[in-house]
Structure 1
């Protein structure tokens, strides 16, 4: 299930923005839908922020801390583990860092969503409509 658009208040559920954090790679906003699969369930989630080493997910019934998952964001696929969870937000650390080209794909798709001022669900619906109309 996809939530309403991410709001500014969600930025507060992704750890500290300044000082003291352990994050070694810069993150970028990338409001996209993604598919998160665990051994138990497959969920459609919203991606909030992403870096080469991890991402913030938003959605209902997210995996628990410690759960391993397979994450597909557009054409990018990676494995990771949930390292924190707070309400309907969760942080995932990727098993292997994304390559520069993978990160570029996610960031450019996220920028497109932001520029169009559409929710991730609306962008997905538009993409499906374009593919279906070809």
Structure 2
């Protein structure tokens, strides 16, 4: 599975990314869409979903109780790379990392997420 940016940090991004089988709600002035958070860091995420906003769109996203504002930086088909307006609070980052760790332990969820991120479930 590919990841958005470098998962260990470096390059243009200094925050490590974690593969994230999470579902979030992305809200713009045009409405709200659900999106799979493919990977996430304290400064941004890679999302996948239908009819997500285009490049340079502003949004707020709710990820398992963590809410942050951001901007779409790139788009490729059903994927979007987003940058958060502010780095996630360490407590919020821990919440997401704990959710990721918990979700990875559920075999059925992991298999479904792998299908979704590879495009098999579309």
TM-score normalized by structure 1?
0.75
| Conserved? CA contact 2:9–2:15, under 8 Å | no
- Structure-to-structure mapping, 1:1-134, within 5 angstroms: 8=1, 11=2, 14-15=4-5, 21-119=11-109
Q: Give the number of the structure whose residues are more often helix, by fraction.
A: 1
| 5+ long unaligned stretches in structure 1 | 1-7, 123-134
Residue by residue, what CA displacement relative to the aligned partner does 1:50-72 show, whole Å, maximum 9, x if unpaired? 11100110111111000000100
Q: Give the number of the structure whose residues are more often strand, by fraction.
A: 2
Shift of 1:15: 4.4
Label 1:111 to 1:17 Cα distance change in 2 as closer, same or farther (>3 A). Answer: closer
The runs of at least 4 aligned residues of structure 1 exceeding 4 Å deviation read 15-20
Shift of 1:19: 9.4
Q: How many residues align?
A: 111
Residue by residue, what CA displacement relative to the aligned partner does 1:89-112 show, whole Å, maximum 9, x if unpaired? 111100010011101101110111
| Conserved? CA contact 2:72–2:82, under 8 Å | yes
| Conserved? CA contact 2:71–2:84, under 8 Å | yes
Q: How large is the RMSD of aligned CA atoms in angstroms? A: 2.1
Label 1:52 to 1:17 Cα distance change in 2 as closer, same or farther (>3 A). Answer: closer
